[in-house]
Amino acid sequence: MALLKNGVVTAPPGAAAGARALISADPFGSGTGAAADRGANRYGVCSIEDFPPGMNDLSFTHEDAGGFYNYVKQFAAPNFWYTDGGVLSWIYGEEYDDWQGTYGFDACVAEYHSGHGTMDGNGVFWMPMGGTWGGSAWASSADMRLGNEVARYLFFSTCLSLRIGDGNSPIRTWDAANLGLRMIFGFESTSVDSPNYGAYFFSKWNGNGHKFGKAWLDASWDIDHHQAPSVAACGATQAEAQDRLWNEGSFSTAAASKNWWWWTWYDAAKSIQAPRLELPGSAQTARFAPQRLSPSRLAELAGHYGVRLGGGVPAGAMGPHGLVLGEGQDGPRLSVDHRGVREITFADADGTGRDAPSADEAVRIAQDAVETFGLADRVDLVADKVRHQYHAGGTADDIADPRVRETHVVFTQLVDGHPVVTPGLGEVRVGIDGGGTVTTIVDATREVERLGEGAPAAPPPSGAATRDPSTVDEALDAPLQRLLRRLSAGGRVPAEVRTIPDSTAVGYALRGDDGTPVVRRTVEVDCGAGLAKRYVLEAPLR
């Protein structure tokens, strides 16, 4: 183990590992196992923004699906990308889901759908379509039979597509529909209307050693900390299903048995510090120091964490997605992504089923790690959130209770006393397994170079009264009204807007090398027909 109980890091013995540039890898050409031949029947994509009357439209599902589509088309042209009125229920039903051996959700190995979704009280997943076909404008998991032709991986970038809570499980929802699927990706909670899920998934996959499950969960974290992404995998045995869940990283055409299921999810981050929600009297902008990613700096980072390099880091080692150091060694692995975010992997999480440490104990262990590696030497950090990664599984007859696989303690960076509020940036995350061992550290902090006055506010129109907002609700009223006007433009006014707990923050949003003072909040909006969607509100402060 690389990180010892006392926090001392040791470099592994053996041959030195060099640096590997993180390039755009082919999801069918990495890892082990039966990889699909190149050609057709690899990918199918659907996205809906324009929904039938009675439900609110979405804004970013085409961009979301486009992130997935544009990545995979570098290697193989997808069979189809249906949008809006072209997304109809025949695509998902057994009779036509492999239409002409080319079209439908069982015609391709990996299928991606972005749109609305919900789950009823019987554990049935429902998706509204872009139009009516055969008298129906909906598709449901009860009507799907996928995997008896080509499908092996289903991505549902929708709300409530892969639930675990409230008596639900992936087996309850998807067992009848599954006739050969290997993995399903979705959400336990409602999700954010965001353009980034598809693109972020492959960015994370390229950086984490090609692990599909981890990539899906971490992509969601970088979009919003308050949703609950989930992943399920199947296999003939418990060991096979678990290995697929934790390690599968190459799309395969081979069907999987559904004798055993195993699934994992992140819960919504929980605050352990009361947030400061008073508005600053005089907001200052922040300028962050440029990222130092020279070969000498990367070699210094590797040595700091006990990563063995041997000959050092060559010039030009950074690829479009970053680079990885120490890969293939029995010791720490360091990856640096294209933004300069550092992720150090010391060990795989302990899978023996030991109980997770208490929240207080996890914070203590994480604080020791922060001190050991000097992560707060040049930035201000506060331990303010805890996130758990749960896992569970079983057979159609017997499902194990959920257990915590890892506890993640989040240290948020403070700038002038206020937190960075951009998800996935301006933070340190420390992962701790059931044995109390630090498994990973993610350092996404940036050193502050200077603080300064923001841009001057525009003068009010002649004769108009103006008043700066005095509360977060006043500051967020304008973006909320803009959201409601946009949603109402389709003819339906949302009946309810709910604030997501712990999501309101006053702090700095990162834009490149600049930090802008903002108020941020995630809300869930009633979208009609039993549907809901989350939206991020953000208002600049001057």
The CATH number assigned to the domain holding 89 equals: 3.40.50
Q: Find the DSSP H helices in 283-433.
A: 295-304, 359-372
User: On the CB side of 450, how many CA atoms lie within 13 Å of its CA?
Assistant: 3
Looking at the fold, whether 81 and 117 belong to one and the same domain comes out as yes
How far is the C-alpha of 420 from the C-alpha of 425, rounded, in Å?
7
Looking at the fold, whether 57 and 196 belong to one and the same domain comes out as yes
The domain boundary residue, chosen from 417, 452, 487: 452
State the Cα angle at 49 between 44 and 51, rounded to 5°: 110
Count up the domains in the chain and report the number. Answer: 3
Looking at the fold, whether 366 and 248 belong to one and the same domain comes out as no
**161, amino acid identity:** S
Looking at the fold, whether 106 and 228 belong to one and the same domain comes out as yes
The residue with tokens 């998991």 is 141
How far is the C-alpha of 297 from the C-alpha of 313, rounded, in Å?
9
How far is the C-alpha of 307 from the C-alpha of 353, rounded, in Å?
28
How far is the C-alpha of 441 from the C-alpha of 325, rounded, in Å?
15
Residue 463: what pLDDT?
54
Residue 209: what pLDDT?
87
The domain containing residue 528 runs over which residues?
A: 472-540
| Domain membership flag for residue 8 | no
**344, amino acid identity:** I
| Domain membership flag for residue 16 | no
The domain boundary residue, chosen from 209, 237, 268: 268
Looking at the fold, whether 522 and 424 belong to one and the same domain comes out as no
How far is the C-alpha of 223 from the C-alpha of 494, rounded, in Å?
23
Looking at the fold, whether 448 and 486 belong to one and the same domain comes out as no
Residue 351: what pLDDT?
73
Looking at the fold, whether 310 and 243 belong to one and the same domain comes out as no
Burial string for 125-138 (b: 16+ CB within 10 Å, else e) reads bbbbbbbebeeebe
Burial string for 297-333 (b: 16+ CB within 10 Å, else e) reads ebbebbeebbbbbeeebeeebbbebbbbbbbebebbb
Looking at the fold, whether 136 and 160 belong to one and the same domain comes out as yes
Phi, psi of 327 (to 5 degrees): -70, 140
Instruction: Write the Ramachandran bin of 299: left for phi over 0, alpha for psi from -120 to 50, otherwise beta.
Output: alpha
How far is the C-alpha of 487 from the C-alpha of 505, rounded, in Å?
24
Question: Quick one: DSSP state of residue 50?
Answer: S
Helix (H) or strand (E) holding 67, with range, is: helix 61-72
Residue 327: what pLDDT?
87
| Domain membership flag for residue 12 | no
Q: How many CB atoms sit inside 10 A of residue 12's CB?
A: 16
Looking at the fold, whether 224 and 150 belong to one and the same domain comes out as yes
Closest-CA residue to 65 (of 143, 147, 146, 157):
157
Helix (H, G, I), strand (E, B) or coil at 230: strand
Regions of the chain where pLDDT drops below 70: 1-17, 30-39, 310, 454-467
